[in-house]
Amino acid sequence: MRKLLVLVLALLLFSNLSGCAEPEQIKYDRDFFAMDTYIACQVLSADEKLAVKALDAVEAAFMDIDRLTNRFEQDSEISAINQNAGIAPVKVSEDVYSMVEIALEWSDKTDGAFNILIGDVMDLWGFGSDQPAVPAEAALAEALTRTDYHKIMLDQENLTIYLPEKGMVMDLGGVAKGYATDKAVAALKEMGIENALINAGGNVYVLGSRADGTPWKVGVQDPRDPEGIKAVLQGENTAIISSGDYQRYFEADGIRYHHIIDPADGYPARASAGTTIIMKSATIADILSTSLFVKGPVEGIKLAEEFDEVDAAMIITADGKIFGTKNLNDYMAEN
Ligand code: AMP
Ligand code: MG
């Protein structure tokens, strides 16, 4: 009897102690608008002040990168680069310099499917304006003569970027959200946040796990059903980044014209409807979600298999078929 009492007391004490050692993590969330996208962030923490600071840091990371890379703001660094095309090199921040450097590296690795000189072509289509429309073929052909990204001149010592021909227009829309995501995650880690989720319009990063210790789950939108989920993916400490022809588009004569351009002909790429990349770097995942979309399901998946950094990739076609890397199943959740 006495023994039993001691055991019960010990158990009570133990449960109490363990309760003290692990204060409950509470979910704090915040939604904000940046980079033309609603961004949703959740942070788990036992410390409310820290959680608020962490959410502030995430918001600041997106606002900062937005300010630097917004082509439609006259005083952004990207505007300075574009205004000085054919005139002079422009001194930039380390963030813009390294975004451009990484983008150019992966342009080559994707055989030019990723091309940050697509800005002029984007403008001809009117993406970013209120009235997008199909441009004249001659105008597209003319704009394509100024998209040779190999001509971009970087000077690492002086941190300058130079577009050597007048009319060249740089657009970082395919990489900036991923880059901002990496910056936000770095800030969270520095603050000691271990569990969080950032979703910038399908540009997701999952840090640690959910409050109950199970992995964060990420629904991949069905490209042809705004309410539907095509697959549920899960992961820990990884970017899970999607691009799709459903994110920004207009329709004319029954054809969907969207914002991911095939640099080979200046038209919206047709072979894919959605792509998702799972890998540690959100910057590169963002680049690849755009460029593998251009490559299409067969070539795109083949290329993804060649990159060691890529953990898994998935491409959905307009008729709803799913193409994936060999290990895609390892990341598929039950739902
Ligand atoms: P995402 O939503 O990440 O797929 O990026 C789409 C954005 O990237 C577009 O809104 C353009 O700003 C830019 N973009 C479109 N096509 C390309 C391309 N082939 N290479 C690089 N950037 C592109
Ligand atoms: Mg992208």
pLDDT digit string (tens) for the chain, length 335 residues? 455 444 444 444 444 444 456 788 999 999 999 999 999 999 999 999 999 999 999 999 999 999 999 999 999 999 999 999 999 999 999 999 999 999 999 999 999 999 999 999 999 999 878 889 999 999 999 999 999 999 999 999 999 999 999 999 999 999 999 999 999 999 999 999 999 999 999 999 999 999 999 999 999 999 999 899 999 999 999 999 999 998 888 888 888 899 999 999 999 999 999 999 999 999 999 999 999 999 999 999 999 999 999 999 999 999 999 999 999 999 999 76
Nearest atom of ligand 1 to the alpha carbon of 127 = 10
Name 254's Cβ contacts closer than 8 Å, sequence gap at least 6: none
- Write down the pTM of the prediction: 0.93
Residue of 104, 115, 260, 293 best suited for mutating to test ligand 1, as the one with most atoms within 8 Å of CB: 260
Closest to 161 (Cα-Cα) out of 152, 173, 170, 148: 152
Alpha-carbon distances of 171 from 69, 111, 120, 145, 261, rounded to whole Å: 8, 18, 9, 16, 12
The pLDDT of residue 311: 98
What percent of the chain is helix, strand and coil (3-state, nearest 5)? 40, 25, 35
Name the maximum alpha-carbon separation found in the chain.
Answer: 94
Task: Tell me how far the alpha carbon of residue 220 lies from the centroid of ligand 2, in angstroms.
Answer: 15
74 Cα distance to chain centroid: 24
293, two tokens = 């979309």
**DSSP character string of 26-75:** EEEEEEEEETTEEEEEEEEES-HHHHHHHHHHHHHHHHHHHHHH-TTSTT
Task: Tell me how far the alpha carbon of residue 39 lies from the centroid of ligand 1, in angstroms.
Answer: 18
Task: Tell me how far the alpha carbon of residue 276 lies from the centroid of ligand 1, in angstroms.
Answer: 14
Residues in the ligand 1 pocket, defined by CB under 6 Å: 114-116, 118, 122, 171, 173-174, 243, 247, 259-261, 263, 286, 289-290, 294
Nearest ligand, CA 170? 1
Residue of 175, 290, 293 best suited for mutating to test ligand 1, as the one with most atoms within 8 Å of CB: 290
Closest to 26 (Cα-Cα) out of 61, 5, 52, 57: 52
DSSP annotation of 158: T
The pLDDT of residue 19: 47
Question: Ligand 1: which residue has its CA nearest to atom 22?
Answer: 174
Residue 181 dihedral angles phi and psi, to the nearest 5°? -60, -45
The pLDDT of residue 9: 47
Nearest atom of ligand 1 to the alpha carbon of 286 = 3
Residue of 259, 277, 289 best suited for mutating to test ligand 1, as the one with most atoms within 8 Å of CB: 259
The pLDDT of residue 2: 52
Question: Ligand 1: which residue has its CA nearest to atom 2?
Answer: 243
Nearest ligand, CA 245? 1
32, two tokens = 């904000």
Task: Tell me how far the alpha carbon of residue 290 lies from the centroid of ligand 2, in angstroms.
Answer: 4
